[in-house]
Amino acid sequence: MSKDTLSVTDNRTGKQYELKIENGCIRAMDLRQMKTDAEDFGIMAYDPAFQNTANTKSAITFIDGDKGILEYRGYPIDQLAEKSTHLETSYLLMNGELPTKAQLHEFTDKITHHTYVHENIKSFMDGFRYDAHPMSMLASTVAALSSFYPEAKQVRNKEVRRHQMTRLIAKMPTLAAFSYRHSQGLPYIYPNNDLPYAENFLTMVKSIGKPNWKAHPALVKALDVLFILHADHEQNCSTTSVRVVGSSEADPYSAVAAGITALYGPLHGGANEAVLRMLREIGDKKNVPEFIKKVKDKDGDKKLMGFGHRVYKNYDPRAKVIKKACDEVFEVTGKNPLLDIAVELERIALQDDYFVQRKLYPNVDFYSGLIYEAMGFPVDFFTCLFAIPRTVGWVCQYEEMINDNEQKIARPRQVFTGQRKRDYVAIDKR
Ligand code: ACO
């Protein structure tokens, strides 16, 4: 008869143990009973980069990496991208269910009326060098928000916490737009509360000299779809950073600032920026085979940026939607000349044994940069365009962690490999 347990024999002692299997997991703490003697600490699990460790139970986002499935609260990503809006999806992520008309109206109204930032934030932004990276500006100003809302420290008070979550979702486009305007030497444009979320952001970024400047509806729609695709992605590097920082009961602004800094890295959200630089470096379709060869030879640590994923071992479902969105954007902006190189890279890579065997497919960042560039965003602003929509994912995951009775301050163990017990040597004797 089958049982949901795992039998383990410790060959050091000959003792046998039966460990419970729940949701396909054993509890790492159950290993600690396995000791050689009473003094022994007990067995730990060693798992650098958490490759096979679940750190939490979560009901927000489901991914089946082998099948290429992504669902928010059970709804497939392609349906949300086609039929929903970023704010409706945000409500879904935060509350578990799609809103009624009245609920969506109330939620939209709340977000819309928290888009302004304290005037001192502008002076804070002015302090950055003219060429500061927009992601460093975004991370720092979000961290600074914590000093503007000291009540945010009441992380266990639901009403207060939800207020900060609203503020973060509402203010992130404003802060990102301000960081863009600063880096371009342009005056800051205040939010216009008559505009929907994505359009308001585009207007704060792009409008200049014309009070009635209007973003192209097809570009607004494409940006909103990109926002939906980026809203959450379960326990990725930045979300885990938010959870780890939040586990010390740091306020949501400080935790989200940590998420932004994690997202900044080129192996995570910074990949969209790296893809564009890579495509420019390749320069022409005819250079693709030579570039692929360098990647396979691991020449100078070259990687095919925008390819591969820790979880997806199949086509990233978000990349499929983005590829389609490219056509709609390019109809308005004209085709990005780098698209041909990207398509050729994908075509060759998907036929090549190196990529096939390692199950390396395009991820969300492979095509998103092409859209951002066609929309006229500078490359170093791309990751901010990821951080804006991911904010809702971060705050939902933060809240789920706070409400989870099993969670404690995050504190991994280590396997110590250094020297022990040495006597101090005076400097003239070394
Ligand atoms: N190009 C070439 N080879 C690759 C790539 C790539 N993009 N990604 C992985 N590989 C190779 C590795 O060299 C390794 O080869 P080996 O077995 O010969 O040593 C093998 O595939 C397994 O790769 P790992 O690095 O072990 O995979 P891991 O799960 O740790 O990394 C990651 C995932 C970081 C996304 C990786 O695929 C990568 O660096 N991709 C490029 C950067 C990128 O696009 N990041 C965005 C991810 S999506 C997101 O964060 C929003």
CA distances, 248 to each of 255, 260, 294, 366, 404 (Å)? 9, 18, 44, 35, 14
Q: What is the CATH number of the domain that holds 351?
A: 1.10.580.10
- Determine the residue type at 346: E
Quote the mean pLDDT of the chain.
Answer: 95
Closest approach atom of ligand 1 to CA 309: 35
Closest CA relative to residue 215, chosen from 389, 377, 324: 377
Which range among 24-28, 146-150, 366-370 shows the weakest confidence by mean pLDDT?
A: 366-370
Q: Best substitution site from 294, 363, 394 to test ligand 1's pocket, by max atoms within 8 Å of Cβ?
A: 363
The answer as to whether 159 is a domain residue is yes
Share of the chain above pLDDT 90, in %: 87
pLDDT tens for 236-292 read 999 999 999 999 999 999 999 999 999 999 898 888 888 999 999 999 999 999 999
Q: Which of 359, 357, 371 is nearest to 311 (CA)?
A: 359
Cβ 304 under 6 angstroms from ligand 1: yes
CA of 188 to the centre of ligand 1 (A): 38
Q: Is residue 318 part of a domain?
A: yes
What pLDDT does residue 259 have? 98
**Is the sign of the CA dihedral 283, 287, 288, 291 positive or negative?**
negative
Which parts of 301-430 fold into alpha helices (H)? 317-333, 338-351, 353-357, 365-374, 382-402
Q: How far apart, in whole angstroms, are the C-alpha atoms of residue 288 and residue 258?
A: 36
Q: Tell me the C-alpha distance between 243 and 409, whole Å.
A: 9
For the record, the structure tokens of 294 come out as 């360098």
Measured in degrees and rounded to the nearest 5, phi and psi for residue 72 equal -100, 120
Three-state DSSP at 18 gives strand
| 162 neighbors 170 (Cβ within 8 angstroms) | no
pLDDT at position 271, please? 87
Q: Is residue 419 part of a domain?
A: no
Confidence of residue 377 (pLDDT cuts 50, 70, 90): very high
Asked whether residue 68 is assigned to any structural domain, the reply reads no
Provide the CA 366 distance to its chain's centre, in angstroms: 15
Question: From the CB of 295, is ligand 1 less than 6 Å away?
Answer: yes
- 308 Cβ inside 6 Å of ligand 1: yes
pLDDT at 378 exceeding the cut of 90: yes
Look at ligand 1, atom 34, and give the residue with the nearest C-alpha.
267
Cβ of 349 less than 6 Å from ligand 1:
no
In a domain, 54, yes or no: no
Grade residue 391 by pLDDT with cuts at 50, 70 and 90. Answer: very high
In-domain check, residue 400: yes
Closest Cα to atom 29, ligand 1: which residue?
A: 310
**C-beta of 310 in contact with ligand 1 (< 6 A):** yes
Q: How does residue 124 score in pLDDT terms, banded at 50, 70 and 90?
A: very high
- Protein residue with its CA nearest to atom 39 in ligand 1: 267
Q: How far is the CA of 308 from the centre of ligand 1 (A)?
A: 5
Amino acid 63: pLDDT? 96
* Total domains in the fold of the chain: 1
Distance 324 CA to ligand 1 centre (A): 24
C-beta of 360 in contact with ligand 1 (< 6 A): yes
3-state secondary structure 219-266: HHHHHHHHHHHCCCCCCCHHHHHHHHHHCCCCCHHHHHHHHHHHHHCC
63 lines ligand 1 (CB under 6 A): no
Helix (H/G/I), strand (E/B), else coil: 9: strand
Residue bearing tokens 């009403």? 159
Query: Would 7 be classed as within a structural domain?
Result: no
Kindly state if the Cβ of 268 falls inside 6 Å of ligand 1. yes
Instruction: Decide the pairing of beta strands 75-76 and 5-10.
Output: unpaired
Which ligand 1 atom is at minimum distance from the Cα of 236? 50
Ligand 1 centroid from CA 309, angstroms:
6
Residue of the CA atom closest to atom 17 of ligand 1 = 358
Whether ligand 1 lies within 6 angstroms of the CB of 363 is answered as yes
Q: Which of 90, 269, 256 is nearest to 172 (CA)?
A: 256
Contact predicate 230/369, CB 8 Å: no
Residues identified as active-site: 268, 309, 365
Radius of gyration of the chain (CA): 24
- The Å distance, Cα 277 to ligand 1 centre, comes to 17
DSSP string, 286-329: GGHHHHHHHHHTTGGG---TTB--SS-SS--HHHHHHHHHHHHH
| DSSP at 96 | S
- Which atom of ligand 1 approaches the CA of 310 most closely? 29
Whether pLDDT at 340 is above 80: yes
What is the residue with the minimal CA distance to atom 4 of ligand 1? 303
Q: What is the pLDDT of residue 270?
A: 85
Residue 273, phi then psi, degrees to nearest 5: -65, -45
For residue 300, pLDDT over 80 is answered with no
- Give yes or no for residue 335 having a pLDDT over 90: no
Tokens at 347, concatenated: 């075509």
As a whole number of angstroms, the distance between CA 292 and CA 305 comes to: 11
Residue 383 token pair: 């990751």
Q: What is the distance in A from the centroid of ligand 1 to the CA of 313?
A: 11
Are the beta carbons of 421 and 286 closer than 8 angstroms?
no
Confidence of residue 135 (pLDDT cuts 50, 70, 90): very high
In a domain, 71, yes or no: no
Ligand 1 centroid to residue 267 C-alpha, Å: 8
Region for 302 from its dihedrals, namely left if φ exceeds 0, alpha if ψ lies in -120 to 50, beta otherwise: beta
Q: Averaged over 17-21, what is the pLDDT?
A: 98
Residue 422's region, left for phi above 0, alpha for psi from -120 to 50, else beta, is beta
Domain around 318: 77-404
